[in-house]
């Protein structure tokens, strides 16, 4: 890559870090105020007790656990997709990977907050950790809730490291292009990075190993989240396909979140030269495939329940199909399949706007799916005398809204302080391409930066 | 630390400079090549490719698996309560914790090994030039001996095409 191209690329991607408009402060203030309102609401819940929520017998898991499952699902956008694309050496991944990996780190942090909120007394959070109590009794490793602790902490550790390691060379780049406090801060974050051939080899090998390790961890995390439900003998939960069903749903919602985030970054940070329509088209194809896979899993799961015709299972089944939850259920089907499928299947509509529209519907549909897994089953257990409805309280709704604002706020702040596209990886993509087939030669210019 | 180096725009010139330094008798370990991104297309970037990282990651994974096996089994035997009609040491559920700790061990071992072998974080003064971030490639020799200095200078200029710098 020529020096001029290298300099232009660095300047374009460092501009958001070095120039700040009033819009940034306005957005941070707006999102921050929503997050603050969420924190105040949480404090109100802690002070007044769980009675201020809609959680009551028999539905003890509701909005908070729905949000926990939803955010853990969203976290599958980044590290998993990035690791797969890195391993198959997909050239088009380069501008996408960091945008995706950030979603994983923040979504996991937000998702992991919900069990704490659901605790009611979050200052006792350390009871979730595996350590012996004063009578030397250890937690029960046979409980899926303890599996959650191990799975989420492993995935969070791996995802944060997977995100941070390739940021080190970019921190060194920012260090060299800044002065004053920025130079000192980024110099510290760069950890004395030089860019010797040895350092590059070690970094790339480490990333390769991390990619290999993180894929099974990502799959295991959402499988274990599904075990929270499927290990319980509750109608609608006790299913053998819940593991892959949850993983497919997680990747589905994760890709949708990634498309929305990329479109926002492209528009706000003027990254049109780096995030091309072809990136959205490729992610749109993945989203289409996941929409089909999701529909297949829903059909398999529903058919098995219906064919089995168990009394309790059918109570949940009919509550969803034509009972009190039917409006939400059919909205979910429309959002996850009926609308996205034609938009993403047709080349003419698989544009940036089309992909973003489909993704917005998918995010809504997948949140509804998580809600419809958690709530109707608890409200229709084996004995009808224990059946009951659920209605979320304003406290739960406010806390949920504030987590969406927290995600947007964290993403905004991250893209302000760290290059949201990996600069050094983009430069590698500009090197002469060792193409072996005519198709590869034809394809390669698509991934290059426009002059 | 003293060093002599030159900056190049083209990787082909870097390859020539490295070859010249080798021909001048400079030991391989003293030749430093620094770039803003990895350059896989040339031989000079493959000098340090051999690595133990995969083995270290595997060893970390084995350590994690061993710890996971010990932790689950020890805690179950420390207070042998039977739950859900499962045996006291229940391998099926234990496998989940063992798997997660295996992967965690592998990931942490990889990162620690990366930091040690890549010598980061470091506060020692090192051979570096900020021009590297503009796409230039640095080739230099750290602590060149007086006897080899003229040969190093000739090797780095590759026929007068590059400006020599000292740090």
The residue ranges of every structural domain in chain A are 3-131+139-447
Which of chain A's residues have a Cβ under 8 Å away from the Cβ of B81? 140
Mutate to test the interface with B, among A154, A157, A223 (most CBs of B within 10 A): A154
CB A421 within 8 A of CB A271: yes
d(C-alpha A380, C-alpha B38), whole Å:
59
Contact B75 A224 (CB under 8 A): no
Which residues 6+ apart lie within 8 Å of A161 measured at CB?
Answer: A210, B107, B111
Q: Which residues in chain A have Cβ-Cβ distances shorter than 8 Å to B43? A: none
φ/ψ (deg, to 5) at A257: -65, -40
Q: Which residue of A has its CA nearest to B64?
A: A154
Residues of chain B positioned with their CB less than 8 A from the CB of A200? 35, 37-38, 45
What span, in angstroms and rounded, lies between the C-alpha atoms of A340 and B131? 48
Whether residue A142 and residue B75 make contact (CB cut-off 8 A), yes or no, is no
The structure tokens 């985030």 sit at: A261
Is A176 in contact with B133 (Cβ distance < 8 A)? Answer: yes
Q: Among the residues of chain B, which ranges form H helices?
A: 11-23, 53-78, 91-117, 149-157
ipTM score: 0.92
Domains detected in chain B: 3-48+124-166 (3.30.70), 53-117 (no CATH)
A293 three-class SS: helix
Contacts of A162 (CB under 8 A, 6+ apart): A79, A82, A83, A101, A207, A210, A211, A214
Q: Report CB contact under 8 Å: B124, A192.
A: yes
DSSP alpha helix (H) spans, A269-310: 277-308
Cβ atoms of B104 and A162 closer than 8 Å: no
Q: Does B53 touch chain A (CB under 8 A)?
A: yes
Each residue's pLDDT tens digit in chain A (451 positions)? 677 777 888 888 888 888 888 999 999 999 999 999 999 999 999 999 999 999 988 999 889 999 999 999 998 878 888 898 888 888 788 888 999 999 999 999 999 999 999 988 999 888 888 888 777 777 777 888 889 999 999 999 999 999 999 999 999 999 998 889 999 999 999 999 999 999 999 999 999 999 999 999 999 998 999 999 999 989 999 989 999 999 999 999 999 999 999 999 999 988 888 899 999 999 999 999 999 999 999 999 999 999 999 999 999 999 999 999 999 999 999 999 999 999 999 999 999 999 999 999 999 999 999 999 999 999 999 889 989 999 999 999 999 999 999 999 999 999 999 999 999 988 887 766 554 556 656 666 555 554 4
Q: Please choose, from the candidates A6, A12, A3, the residue with its C-alpha nearest in 3D space to the C-alpha of residue A419.
A: A12
B93 touches chain A (CB under 8 A): yes
User: Within 10 A of B27 (CB to CB), how many other CB atoms are there?
Assistant: 10
Q: Which of B38, B76, B104 sits opposite A141 (nearest CB)?
A: B76
B135 at A interface, C-beta within 8 A:
yes
How near does any CA of chain A get to the CA of B151, in Å?
23
HSE of B1, CA atoms in CB hemisphere, 13 A: 13
From the CA of A204, how many Å to the nearest CA of chain B?
9
Instruction: Tell me, yes or no, if B51 comes closer than 8 A to chain A by beta carbon.
Output: yes
CB B75 to CB A173 under 8 A? no
In the numeric block, which tokens belong to residue A377?
A: 């089953």
User: HSE of A451 in the Cβ direction (CA atoms, 13 Å)?
Assistant: 5
Q: Crossing angle for the helix pair A63-74 and A242-268, nearest 10 degrees?
A: 70
Contact A158 B49 (CB under 8 A): no
Residue that the structure tokens 């969803």 belong to: A320
CB contact under 8 A, A209 and B110: yes
- CA distance, residue A123 to nearest chain B CA (Å): 25
**Nearest CA-CA distance, residue B20 and chain A, Å:** 18
Is the CB of residue B43 less than 8 Å away from at least one CB of chain A?
A: no
By residue count, chain A amounts to 451
Angle, helices A167-177/A180-189, rounded to nearest 10 degrees: 160
CATH number assigned to the domain covering A3-131+139-447: 1.20.1630.10
Q: Is the CB of A206 less than 8 angstroms away from the CB of B53?
A: yes
User: Cα A200 from chain centroid?
Assistant: 29
Distance from C-alpha of B115 to C-alpha of B118, rounded to nearest angstrom: 5
**Sign of the alpha-carbon torsion through A98, A99, A101, A105:** positive
Q: How far apart are CA A152 and CA B50, in angstroms?
A: 33
- How many other β-carbons are positioned within 10 Å of the β-carbon of residue B30? 16
């Amino acid at each position: 890559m020529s020096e001029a191209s290298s300099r232009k690329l660095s300047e374009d991607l460092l501009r958001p870090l070095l120039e700040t408009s009033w819009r940034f402060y306005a957005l941070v203030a707006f999102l921050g105020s929503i997050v603050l309102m969420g924190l105040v609401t949480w404090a109100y819940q802690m002070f007044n007790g769980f009675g201020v929520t809609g959680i009551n017998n028999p539905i003890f898991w509701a909005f908070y656990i729905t949000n926990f499952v939803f955010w853990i699902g969203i976290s599958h956008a980044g590290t998993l997709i990035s690791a797969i694309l890195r391993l198959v050496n997909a050239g088009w991944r380069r501008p996408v990977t960091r945008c995706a990996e950030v979603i994983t780190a923040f979504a996991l942090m937000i998702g992991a907050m919900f069990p704490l909120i659901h605790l009611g007394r979050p200052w006792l959070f350390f009871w979730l950790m595996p350590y012996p109590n004063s009578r030397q009794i250890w937690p029960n490793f046979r409980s899926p809730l303890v599996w959650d602790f191990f799975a989420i902490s492993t995935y969070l550790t791996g995802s944060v490291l997977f995100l941070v390691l390739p940021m080190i060379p970019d921190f060194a780049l920012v260090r060299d292009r800044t002065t004053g406090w920025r130079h000192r801060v980024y110099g510290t974050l760069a950890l004395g990075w030089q860019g010797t051939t040895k350092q590059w080899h070690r970094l790339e090998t480490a990333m390769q190993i991390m990619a290999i390790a993180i894929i099974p961890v990502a799959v295991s995390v959402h499988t274990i989240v599904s075990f929270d439900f499927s290990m319980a003998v509750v109608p609608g939960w006790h299913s053998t396909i819940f593991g892959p069903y949850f993983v497919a749903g997680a990747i589905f919602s994760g890709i949708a979140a990634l498309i929305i985030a990329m479109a926002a970054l492209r528009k706000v940070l003027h990254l049109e030269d780096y995030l091309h329509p072809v990136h959205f088209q490729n992610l749109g194809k993945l989203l289409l495939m996941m929409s089909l896979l999701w529909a297949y899993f829903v059909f398999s799961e529903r058919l098995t329940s219906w064919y089995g015709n168990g009394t309790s299972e059918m109570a949940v089944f009919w509550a969803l199909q034509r009972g009190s939850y039917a409006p939400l259920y059919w909205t979910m089907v429309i959002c996850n399949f009926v609308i996205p499928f034609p938009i993403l299947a047709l080349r003419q509509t698989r544009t940036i706007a089309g992909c973003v529209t489909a993704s917005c519907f998918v995010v809504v549909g997948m949140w509804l799916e998580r809600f419809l897994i958690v709530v109707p089953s608890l409200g229709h257990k084996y004995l009808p005398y224990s059946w009951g409805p659920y209605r979320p309280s304003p406290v739960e709704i406010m806390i949920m809204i504030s987590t969406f604002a927290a995600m947007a706020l964290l993403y905004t702040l991250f893209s302000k302080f760290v290059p949201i596209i990996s600069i050094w990886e983009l430069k590698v993509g500009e090197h002469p391409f060792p193409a072996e087939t005519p198709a590869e030669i034809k394809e390669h210019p698509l991934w290059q930066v426009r002059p | 630390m003293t060093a002599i180096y030159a900056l190049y725009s083209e990787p082909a010139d870097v390859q020539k400079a490295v070859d010249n330094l080798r021909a001048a008798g400079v030991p391989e370990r003293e030749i430093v090549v620094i770039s803003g991104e990895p350059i896989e297309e040339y031989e000079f970037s493959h000098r340090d490719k051999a690595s133990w990282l995969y083995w270290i990651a595997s060893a970390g994974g084995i350590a994690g698996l061993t710890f996971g096996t010990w932790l689950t089994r020890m805690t179950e035997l420390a207070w042998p309560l039977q739950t859900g009609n499962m045996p006291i040491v229940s391998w099926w559920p234990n496998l989940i914790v063992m798997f997660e700790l295996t992967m965690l061990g592998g990931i942490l071992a990889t990162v620690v090994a990366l930091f040690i072998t890549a010598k980061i974080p470091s506060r020692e003064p090192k051979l570096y030039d900020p021009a590297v971030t503009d796409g230039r490639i640095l080739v230099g020799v750290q602590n060149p001996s007086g006897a080899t200095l003229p040969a190093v200078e000739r090797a780095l200029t590759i026929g007068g095409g590059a400006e020599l710098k000292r740090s």
